[in-house]
Structures are given as C-alpha cells and as structure tokens.
Amino acid sequence: MNQQLWWRGAIIYQIYPRSLKDTNGDGIGDLPGIIEKLDYIASLGVDAIWISPFFKSPMKDFGYDISDYRAVDPIFGSLEDFDRLIAKAHSLGIKVIIDQVLSHTSNQHQWFVESRQDTLNDKADWYVWADAKADGTPPNNWLSIFGGGAWQWEPRRKQYYLHNFLSSQPDLNFHNKDVRTATLDNIEFWLKRGVDGFRLDAINFCYHDQALRDNPAKPAEKRLGRGFSEDNPYAFQFHHYNNTQPENLAFMQQIRQLLDRYPGSAALGEISSEDSLATMAEYTSGNNRLHMGYSFELLTDEFSASYIRETVEKLEQQMTDGWPCWAISNHDVKRVMSRWNPEDHQPNKAKLFNAVLATLRGSICSYQGEELGLCEAELAFDELQDPYGINFWPTYKGRDGCRTPIPWHCDQDNSGFSTGEPWLPVAKNHLEKNVDCQLKDSGSVLNSYINFLRWRSTQSAVISGEISFIDTPEPVLAFKRFDDSQTLFFFYNLSAKEQFFDLKELASIKEIKDHGLNSGSYENGRFQLPSYGCLVFQSE
C-alpha cells in the first residue's frame, strides 16, 4: 500500500472508547483498554482506527463538548497512555485517526469562560454572539439539532450565543482569524504526537451566516434525513444559514495545507447539510481540501437495493476527483441490524451487510460491534445517559442503544468489559455474541468478517477501483468493481427470501467462492441467491 495514500480504500474501525474496554473498574472504557484490545483489532484485518473523543470534557455530550483540546480526560487515562497507544498501533501496522470537534467547544472551555464575561475581553469575538431583538427574543429563528432554539441568553454579556447542538456547546466564530489559527494549532499538537489523521466532527458547521438571516421553512413532505423525525422541529427548516457557508471552503484548504506538511496524514469530514452528497463532493474536490468525506445517507432507516444504488451513483456523478467514505453504523444512529430489515437478526444478514459495505467504492468506517453482528440494545428510560434520548423519549430513544459495551467473554462479569458497574449496561441479547465464543465458531459473523476482509485486502479493484451498477430486480444489489488488472462482479440478496432472476449479459466469468459468505448458484444466465446470500465473479 502507498503509505502516502493509505487512506484510499482503507477499512477504518471506529472505537467508542467509553464502551470498548475498561481497565480500572470505574465502568468506563479507557485508553489502556484500547491498547489491550489492539491485537484483537489488528486481527480483524482493518487498516486504521478512529477513536471518538477522549479529550478533557464535562461529558454533557460524552466528549463532543471539549474543555481542553490538548488534554486527555482523566476518565480515559493520560497523554502518556495515548503515546503508548500510538506506538502499539503503529507497531501492528494500524493507522490512528482521532476525532476533532472544531465547530464548538464546551461552555467550560477557558476560551468561553473569558468570552462570556463582557464584550471587550481578548476572546470577546471568539464565539457567535448577537444582541436580542427589541422584544428580548433571540436574533433569528435558528434551531438546535437537540431540540428547541439555537440561542442561549448569557446574562454577563447581556447577549445571546449560538449553539447548534446542546446549550453547553457554544459555537466558535470562525470568521475570526484568531479562532482559525488556534484551531489549526490544536490540530498540529496531535500531528506532532504521531496521529495519522482526523475525523472532523460536523465540519460543515464551522461558519455561520454573518447577517444572521432566518432559515426558511421546510414543507412537511421534505422533512427527511439523519433521524430528524416529525417530533424534532429541527426538521422544519432548510438550514441554509446556520451551517455549510461558502467561507468554510477556504478553511478546508487551510486544514489541508497543514496536513500536507505531515506526509501521510489524512482528514475525513463528517458532513450533514441540506444536500450532503453535493457538500461531500465540494469539500473533497481539487486535491486541496479534505481527503475524504462521509455523510448520513446510508445511516438512515431508508433501505433497499435501489436506494443504495441511487445514493452511490448520485455521489459518483458529483465527486469527480474526491474520495468517499461509507458507513452503515456509528455512535449516532441505531445499529444497522436493527435498522435495515429490523425484524430479522439472523447472522447471515450481518455477514452480508458487512460485505456490501466493504465492497463499495471508497474508504469504509466499520463501527465497533458490527463485526459481531450486534443489534440495537433496548434500554429503560432510567438507564439512559444520552441527553438527546432523554429529551425526546419515548418517540426517539437516543443514541445509547448503539453505545453499550462490547461483549468480550461468556463467563465473566459484564461480559469482560469491566469489573465495575458499566456506564451503560451490557445488553443481555449481546451476551451470546461475545468475542470469545465467536472466535471459536468457524461460521460466526466475526470469522466471516475476518475472512472477508482478508480476501478483500488482495483485491485491487475493490480497494481502489471504479464501480458500475448492474440492473437487477429488487431486493438484489449488483455492481462491478474494476481497475486495469481485474474486474469483479458482486450480486447481493438484501432480503431473507430466496431470489431467482435471469441475467444473460455476463460472459467469460469465473465464480469466486473463498469469500466466506452464503453463496448462491449461477448457470446459463440463471441466478439463485439464498437468504442474505451472494455471488461473486471475476472476469476470466
């Protein structure tokens, strides 16, 4: 693999550190726990890890509210632990990507503590402040993703500040050059410690419209995407002015210029805009902005072969020189096993979904537990920790169900995650899917994941080749991946029902059977695909 372009086609394993492994018995996963499990992660065949925030934080949003960008929160360990983690990962050939939450800080960050005091201090313009309207109401109609208005009154300054997320997460003012400089300095701090890249949280939220124009109303039939259900007023607006401003493109270029000084480092942007695919293409174009982008198009409840095809093809049409990254689960959404065909939890479904993701064109984010086929954990209201879920219960149960601890063993307390009481309970329906038992079962989801990624690592067309879709009846998803050296054909049955169809156009093909999935049969143009089965061919 070209070390300068290691990220192209990489399998990136997302670690939610609170829930991977606790080593000190406080019930919260930590950096030493990640170090302990790096050998296991390396055995999966992944290329990199992405570690969700471990920085100093009051944990109002579990680390996405940072109070010190250069310090490890004591619940996770120390900077020395992080240095050991980097060294261990690199010794295993694993790249390390860390989260950077740039658009906002915690309200306990020293920058904000100073900024809120008055309008004359050195940090006065570091956050987005605005006067009240004549009647005392907020300056405009912008809304918070977590519900309600996006403005919070600050009595010290006698002004409102903007928060696109929780009120404890004030938005930085990126129109201020000093903010941009300080942000880049914080990124470089971690580059100097040896990180290989960054996952940039909500990166299109850095800039706001300086005129503070109202967002226009959105018709009810267009209130779709990223889990914004009808009970969340955030879906009632077109968010034209509180994010995705044109000035952000120049800042993307500044980030890229910094990373280019550290050869081999890469930036992956999380993008959620009114047209996220178009923004992904824009933010990764020209070889001078972000290296990769990902959005929530495959993280929604919408699911069909045609939807996946249309989503990928739409991005391919727009992203002519950028590089995509795909995910079907992460720490913000219901696990894919409970989101796509939710009535069915059979292992072959998990195996197939992992394979579909791993064969799309682009890099791949695989969330911890997907290799085990975990479904969403069901929690009682009094077990919830996520403020989003607490606020919207019971119509929306929040993000805790995808964040519960990983089950490691069948015969240890808390399935080997912690000797103390876990911050979220280990789900009972996860216990039988523990790592130890699956490693001993040759037919398990885990061993299928390992075997498929091992096979994928030898297929240049899958890692960096092109993609072209093949017309097949629903629910069959079919495409070919190709480069100068090989052409591969993939046929996936996305349902629990056996599928039969005819396709005469293929010629001079040879079936590949060593991928470890539930194979179908093909003869004289007639396809048979079993429940969550597949066929893979290569050109002869």
Pairing of strands 129-130, 159-162: antiparallel
Q: Which H or E run includes 351? A: helix 347-359
| CA dihedral over 47, 52, 54, 55, signed as positive or negative | positive
Distance in angstroms (rounded) separating the CA atoms of residues 51 and 89: 12
Active-site positions read 201, 270
Structure tokens belonging to residue 14: 């997302």
Using CA atoms, how far residue 499 sits from 345, 488, 512, 520, 528, in Å, is 19, 21, 19, 9, 6
| CA dihedral over 8, 32, 26, 187, signed as positive or negative | negative
Under DSSP, is residue 228 helix (H, G, I), strand (E, B) or coil?
A: coil
The beta-strand segments (E) located in 395-475 are 466-469
Pairing of strands 266-270, 197-201: parallel
Structure tokens belonging to residue 376: 């969403």
Pairing of strands 159-162, 266-270: unpaired
Query: Any residues with CB less than 8 A from the CB of 519 and at least 6 apart, and which?
Result: 511, 513, 530, 533, 534, 535
Structure tokens belonging to residue 400: 């805790």
- Give residue 320's Cα distance to chain centre: 22
Structure tokens belonging to residue 197: 């890249």
Q: CA Rg, the chain, in Å?
A: 23
Query: Any residues with CB less than 8 A from the CB of 266 and at least 6 apart, and which?
Result: 6, 7, 97, 196, 197, 198, 259, 291, 292
The secondary structure of 146-195, three-state, reads: CCCECEEEECCCCEEEECCCCCCCCEECCCCHHHHHHHHHHHHHHHHCCC
Using CA atoms, how far residue 422 sits from 45, 100, 261, 369, 383, in Å, is 28, 26, 41, 17, 11
| CA dihedral over 207, 330, 322, 472, signed as positive or negative | negative
Pairing of strands 197-201, 95-101: parallel
Closest to 325 (Cα-Cα) out of 292, 276, 290, 279: 292
